[in-house]
Amino acid sequence: MPKYHESAELAPRDVVARAIAHELELVRRPDAAVYLDLTHLDAERVRKRFPMIYSTCMQYNIDIAAELVPIRPRALRHGRCAYRSVRADVAPRTLRRRRVACTGVHGANRLASNSLLEGLVYGARAAQNMREQLHSANKHGAVASAAAGNHGQSAETEKFIKKVQSLMWQHVGVVRDGKALQQVVPALRAMQSQAPQAGDRRSHEAVNIVEAGLLIARSALAREESRGAHYAWTTL
C-alpha cells in the first residue's frame, strides 16, 4: 500500500479498494488475492478484538492471528457511500431499495462504522413507514398472497441473480469506464423484462437487484468526474 498512498493500509477505503483491484489485475488469475498481515500483532489480542472475524475465518482454516489473510474488494463498499443514487425522504420510503438510498448524512466516502447512524435512525423510520403502508393495504384489501409451489423456478432465480451480480462486478465495480457503462445500461434494461415473475421473496429480491443495478449504472454513467468511491477511469 505505501506505493499507492502515504497512509498505506490506513488510506481511505476507496483508495485501498482500487489498489487491491489493480494488484489483482496485474496477476490476471481468477483465484488471485492480496493478503492482509496481522502476524506482527499480539495473537491473543487479535482473537479478542475480532472474535467474529476470527471464528469465521477459522471455519475456512485461516488463522488471522498466525497466517496471511487473503482479501479482495467487497461489492458492499459501493452501497455504503453517499454517491448513492436514490434520494431518501425523512420517512424514508426509498430506503427499502436496500443500500442504494442516499440519506445525505454522510460525505462522499463515509468513515467506517458510521453506517450505524442510518441503520438505527433511518432503519427504524423505514420499518415504521412499511408498517403503516401494510396496515393501509390490509384495510383496503389490497395485499396479494405470495405464490406457492414455485420450487422449479428457484434455480432460475438464482441463475438470474448471479448473472446480474457478475455483470455489475465486471463493469460497474471499483473502477468505472464510460464505454463499458454504455453497454451495461441497456443490458440491465433488457434483463428487467427477464426477471423472475414468481411471487416468492427471492423473486422479488431479484427484481430489486436488477433495478438497483440499473440505478447505480445510470448514475455512474451520468457522473463523469471521480467522487468518493465512484472512480471514473475514462469518460464518454
Catalytic choice (13, 84, 110, 125): 13
Sign of the dihedral defined by the CA atoms of residues 102, 103, 104, 106, in that order? negative
Task: Assess whether 13 carries a catalytic annotation.
Answer: yes
List the beta bridge partners of residue 101: 86
| Long-range interactions of 132-138: CB distance < 8 A, separation 24+ | none
Measured between alpha carbons, how far is 166 from 54 in angstroms, rounded to an integer? 28
Burial zone of 52 (CB within 10 Å; 0-12 exposed, 13-18 middle, 19+ buried): exposed
Phi, then psi, of 161 in degrees rounded to 5: -60, -45
Phi, then psi, of 177 in degrees rounded to 5: -125, 130
CA separation, residue 166 to residues 36, 126, 188 (Å)? 25, 29, 12
- Could you give the residue numbers annotated as active site? 13
